Every structure is written in structure tokens, then in C-alpha cells.
Amino acid sequence: MVAIEENKPLQQLHTFHLPVSARWYVEYYSVQDIKDLLKTDLLRQNPFLQIGGGSNLLFMSDYEGVILHSGIKYIDVVTDSSDYVLVKAGSGVVWDDFVGYLVKMGFGGAENLSFIPGEVGASAVQNIGAYGVEVKDIISHVETIEVATGREKIFTCRECRYGYRDSIFKKELKGKYIVTAVVYKLQKNPDYHLDYGNLREAIGDRDINLQTIRKAVIEIRKAKLPDPDEYGNAGSFFMNPVIPYSQYNLLKEKYPEMPCYVIDDHYVKIPAAWLIDKAGWKGKTIGGAAVHEKQCLVLINKDSATAGDVVALARNIVDSVKDLYGISIAPEVNYI
């Protein structure tokens, strides 16, 4: 059973809330549904795009094809041992609902990823991350359908070739597979990751456990990130750049306060928010688009912005950071 709508408004189906529409919008509810859809002329004769919560998209115009959305929603514990569990979630499960379930069950590993918008399927494509944790750290394998053949295929975590906000599904296999479920490996006796950003400080005097970590992460994100229903946005618009240690050491001489996070003996990650802030972009606007006052990584739809406004603002920020620091920053958001 699938639901098909024509000329579907997308304003409430992506978090920038731009007034765009799709020629067709299709929601499916099972693996068999998507297999059957792939045999139809609707998908054979038209471009199509799989979306999740629409939290990482910038639609440049109306989409003259088919928007697909997964309604596959279930959570099952598939393996339960003394030390860990494997939990399988359908691709349409809201990500933060899933994290809330894991924390409630006492399964550790995803708590730092609380309150990230989007859905389970997108988590495995995007390799979402926050506060020193990436979803690749807990993914066991990813269940998919091959678009060309309709065959089911399972990718191990290694086969997904995860990188920083990156995976094989965003590169070599972009558009070639549709994620239907993801299996995660969670710990019953978790190691806590508290040393990234101000997470430990936010926990304060509270006991350290899954619940308090999740609560602290949510508090931080709510304080720094605008509600998309108030100001449309896609969360963090830019990725944190990774640069060689040698380049960082030279920059440190000129900007001694420049922070970094060590990746290995050769590379460090620089907070893009710091670069954008120090370049003077906080609160600046182009058209109806603006840099958020509380978090420079976030570009907002402040006053009926167009996609062109957002792109122009992003481009100017990228150029400014490059000119000032010699560092290239790149959008995390996908332009459609």
C-alpha cells in the first residue's frame, strides 16, 4: 500500500520551509512497497528523490519529479547479549524518537546524538554526528534496496565507507540504493563521551548516566539552535573543516585563540562556527536569509527567504573564511 499525491506542497516537509512543491509525493510503508514502486512507470520515467525529515535539504525550486518518503516505522531488538544489543529500526523512524527509546532501555552509544533532526534512514547516509560521536560508531549494518534491480542488499559498516558526514551512499552509490532499515550495536555498559564542547559542563552536578547526558545535549541544542517552526533552517549548514597540523600551527601564531580538535598525529578539525563568528558574520543578512545570532553554523529563513538568498549568504561566508584564514569550508546541506 502506498500513498501518492500530485503537486504536493513541500513547505512543511523540509526544515527550511521554502514554498516549493513536488510533481509527485509518494509515501511507502514496507520493503515490498518500494520494490513494487521501482517497477512502475512513475519511477522508471521520472527523476526521484528519497527524503527523510527534510532537515538537510535546500530546494532551489519546485521538484519536477517524485519525492519518496519512507513510512517504514518499527524498532526491534534482534540480538540481546550480556554486553550489547543489536537494535533494528525502520528507515522512517524519527531519529530522536529512536534515541529516546535507546536511552529509556539503558542501551548506550547514541545519547550524544540526541535531538538531531531527521530519520533513521538518513542517519546512515549522512553519518550524523555530535559531541564527539558519529553514528558510524554504533552502526552494525544497513539494509537497502538496489534501485536498478529491486534486490535487497545489506552493507556492513565497513562497506559503507563512512567519513566525516559522508558515506558510500553520498558518493559512488548516490541514488543507487534506498535504505529500508538500519541495525545498530549498543552497549549495556556504555563508555560516556563528555569531553567535546561544553557537554560535561552542561551536565554539572547531575549524576552521569544516559538520561542526564541526553537531557544535557537537548538543553544545549535547544539553547543554540532555532526552532524550524519559528525560523526555517537546516541545522548546521557547514561542516567543520579538517586541516593539517602544520597549517594549524601557522594559523595559531596569528590567531592564538583558535580552537581545534585533534583527529590524529597529522590533522585537526577546526570549528566552522568559530571561523564564521570571528569573520564577523553573526546576525548578518542577505535578502531574507540570515546567520543565526546564537549559532553561526546555522543559516535561517528569517524573512521569507528564497533559495537564492540562502545560497548567496553561504557563498559569501565561504569566500570570507577562505580569504581570512586560507581555510575552505563546505556546506553540509544538500542543494536540490
Q: CA-to-CA distance for 272 and 291, rounded, in angstroms? A: 13
Spans of the chain, pLDDT less than 50: none
**How much is the pLDDT for 83?**
96
- CATH code linked to domain 228-335: 3.90.78.10
Q: Is 175 helix (H, G, I), strand (E, B) or coil?
A: coil
Residue 256, exposed/middle/buried by CB under 10 A (0-12, 13-18, 19+)?
A: exposed
Q: What is residue 63's predicted lDDT score, i.e. its pLDDT? A: 97
Q: Does residue 100 contact residue 87 with C-beta atoms inside 8 Å? A: no
Q: Enter the CATH code of domain 2-70.
A: 3.30.43.10
Residues annotated catalytic, as ranges: 165, 236, 332
Strands, sheet with 63-70, edge to edge from the N-terminal-most edge strand = 2-9, 21-28, 63-70, 48-51
Q: Which one is the CATH code of 75-221: 3.40.50.80, 3.30.465.10, 3.40.50.10330, 3.90.550.10?
A: 3.30.465.10
Residue 196: per-residue pLDDT: 81
| Grid cell for residue 191 | 563508555
> DSSP string spanning 263-284?
-SSSEEE--HHHHHHHTT-TT-
- Residues sharing a CB contact under 8 Å with residue 93, sequence separation 6 or more, in sequence order: 72, 73, 74, 75, 119, 120
Residue pair 115/218 in contact (Cβ under 8 Å)? The answer is yes
pLDDT at 265: 87
Cell reading at 201: 559542563
Sequence ranges of the domains in the chain = 2-70, 75-221, 228-335
List, in order, residues 6 or more apart from 14 with CB less than 8 Å away: 51, 54, 55, 57, 59
Measured distance CA(189)–CA(107) in Å, rounded: 8
Q: What is the reported pTM? A: 0.91
Taking each helix axis from N to C terminus, what angle separates 95-105 and 210-224, rounded to the nearest 10 degrees?
Answer: 150
Rounded CA-CA distance 123/108 in Å is 17
